[in-house]
Structure 1
Amino acid sequence: MLTPLEQTIEALLFAADNALKITDLHQLLEDTSAEAIRAAIQSLNRHYADHAFSIVEVGEGYRLMTKPAFSEWVAKLYTQVKNVRLSPAALETLAIIAYKQPISRAEIAHIRGVDSSGVIRKLLELNLIEIQGKSDDVGRPLLYGTTPKFLEHFGLRDLAELPSVDELEELLREEPTTGEKLRLGSLFVAPAGKDTTP
């Protein structure tokens, strides 16, 4: 039997379009402490043990998500589950930034072998990357890195959960069309493409 607090948190996470931070829930629930909210989330996940979904920490917040065991069936229901659809050029550029950050525009262009200004601008607009400072190199070029929305988009808690290059090579050999999370590292096992469409 869920407590009123647990029911409220469940409803908020169910209705939210994006991950909710503890601070977001604290503001909405007003008199409820952050510790009580975390305890309620843990209790809900225990309650969900035999359910097809759970509360998952992604980026800086929490989302109510289908468990990985059911991803195949959900994929059959929704052919396009991502709100943000990324072209191969955008995925390639995003992969470079994710693994090499902080990285400058010139370094990205050198790795891809093509100017990436348009793709970088699109990724900035989508809030998947951000400017994280300036390099000490001549001209002080801007440095780019990924955002919390990037983590949320790919279902990662933090950057440490990015697959290693070896893992990516193995996964891509076994199942090259698994989806964006695997395609994110495709440039490490194949030559960079020349498509500049963001």
Structure 2
Amino acid sequence: MDQSLVTRVVEAALLASSQPLTLVQLKGLFPLDEPVPDGSVEAALAELQAACAPRGVELVEVASGWRFQVQADVHPWVARLWSERQTKYTRATLETLALIAYRQPITRGEIEQIRGVTVNSSIIKALEEREWIRVVGHRDVPGKPELLATTKTFLDYFGLKRLDELPPLSELKDIGELEPQLPFAPAIPAGMTDAAPVSDEAASASDGAQSETDAIPAADTAEQPDADADTEARETPDDAAEPDDALAPTHDTNTDPLGDDANSSADSRASSEQKDEQ
């Protein structure tokens, strides 16, 4: 069998398969009674890779085998073939996945220690349903916590062949703005304990409560003038009020002006009568 036929068979098999094909699977396409020369399948793969360079597809090797995939520069146009919206994951989900990928195998408790918050069970469940992570064992400590690690499906999705092809953490910019300064230390020093982690929901609620607390001083300040007015009213001195004596009636008869006028008129009439008699 000549090399050109081997190349055509390999190309057709990769295009017809819905999953990546390993080198063993590709070699198994050729019957034993018609063996192909050693290295012919590998040569066919190399030839196909070179031929795809100027095209819209490329031949790559991922964790599960070899596959054709769309070139990154034309992906935005090809993606319009699918009307369904791309799934967006929360920051908590992406950080949890990153920790499992870079620190595997890792327990859920260790993830919580690094992130400082409780890992929601729905996050682990979603990653397991997506077949991106799986349980690979149990830590030999009290409680036997599960050890989590990534899968071949995870590597295939991100176009990786091995875990050592993961980019450095400092280059991760599109994974929910994951902070590079996350403490990915191997272990917590002996004698030190972390504060009890809080859940992602509790952290969000705490932020909301803090915002409400910050708004309280402004309300108190707005009501302060009324309180000051009440204080001034209570502190008004008693002598500022009008004295009660000024409103009380007087009983001094000597100061009655009508009484003095009446006495003077009586004396004048008496003097006039005496003069007439004389």
Shorter-chain TM-score category? 0.7 to 0.9
- The structure 2 residue matched to 1:52, chosen from 46, 51, 56, is 56
Deviations 1:66-123 (A, max 9, x none): 22333343345556697xx463243332122112211102222332612332322332
- Aligned equivalents of 2:77, 2:16: Cα separation in 1: 22
Runs (5+) with no aligned partner, structure 1: 173-181
Is 1:144 aligned with 2:129? no
Give secondary structure in 2 for the equivalent of 1:103. coil
Residue 194 of structure 1 is matched in structure 2 by 200
Give secondary structure in 2 for the equivalent of 1:188. coil
Deviations 1:18-42 (A, max 9, x none): 2221123233444456833222111
Is 1:17 aligned with 2:23? no
Give secondary structure in 1 for the equivalent of 2:178. helix
Residue 134 of structure 1 is matched in structure 2 by 138
Structure 1 stretch 154-163 or stretch 31-40: which is displaced more?
31-40
- The structure 2 residue matched to 1:104, chosen from 99, 104, 107, is 107
Residue 207 of structure 2 is matched in structure 1 by none
Q: TM-score, normalised on structure 1?
A: 0.73
Are the counterparts in 1 of residues 135 and 147 from structure 2 also a CA contact under 8 Å?
A: yes
Residue 248 of structure 2 is matched in structure 1 by none
Instruction: Flag the structure with larger Rg.
Output: 2
Residue 69 of structure 1 is matched in structure 2 by 73
- The structure 2 residue matched to 1:93, chosen from 91, 96, 120, is 96
Residue 211 of structure 2 is matched in structure 1 by none
Q: Which amino acid is the alignment partner of residue 89 of structure 2?
A: S
- Aligned equivalents of 2:98, 2:124: Cα separation in 1: 12
Structure 1 stretch 21-30 or stretch 3-12: which is displaced more?
21-30
Are the counterparts in 2 of residues 75 and 81 from structure 1 also a CA contact under 8 Å?
A: no
1:86/1:128 CA distance change after superposition, 3 Å: farther
Are the counterparts in 1 of residues 170 and 180 from structure 2 also a CA contact under 8 Å?
A: no
Residue 179 of structure 1 is matched in structure 2 by none
Structure 1 stretch 93-102 or stretch 43-52: which is displaced more?
43-52
1:112/1:42 CA distance change after superposition, 3 Å: farther
Q: Kindly indicate whether structure 1 or structure 2 has the higher relative contact order, using CA contacts under 8 Å at least 6 residues apart.
A: 1
- Cα displacement (A) at 1:145: 0.8
Q: Which amino acid is the alignment partner of residue 44 of structure 2?
A: A
Residue 168 of structure 2 is matched in structure 1 by 164
Are the counterparts in 2 of residues 108 and 116 from structure 1 also a CA contact under 8 Å?
A: no
1:98/1:60 CA distance change after superposition, 3 Å: same
Q: Which amino acid is the alignment partner of residue 87 of structure 1?
A: Y
- Aligned equivalents of 2:72, 2:159: Cα separation in 1: 11
Are the counterparts in 1 of residues 160 and 166 from structure 2 also a CA contact under 8 Å?
A: yes
Structure 1 stretch 55-64 or stretch 117-126: which is displaced more?
117-126
Residue-pair matches, total: 178
- Aligned equivalents of 2:77, 2:101: Cα separation in 1: 29
Are the counterparts in 1 of residues 22 and 66 from structure 2 also a CA contact under 8 Å?
A: yes
Structure 1 stretch 97-106 or stretch 137-146: which is displaced more?
137-146
Q: TM-score, normalised on structure 2?
A: 0.54
Residue 117 of structure 1 is matched in structure 2 by 121
Identity of aligned residues (%): 34
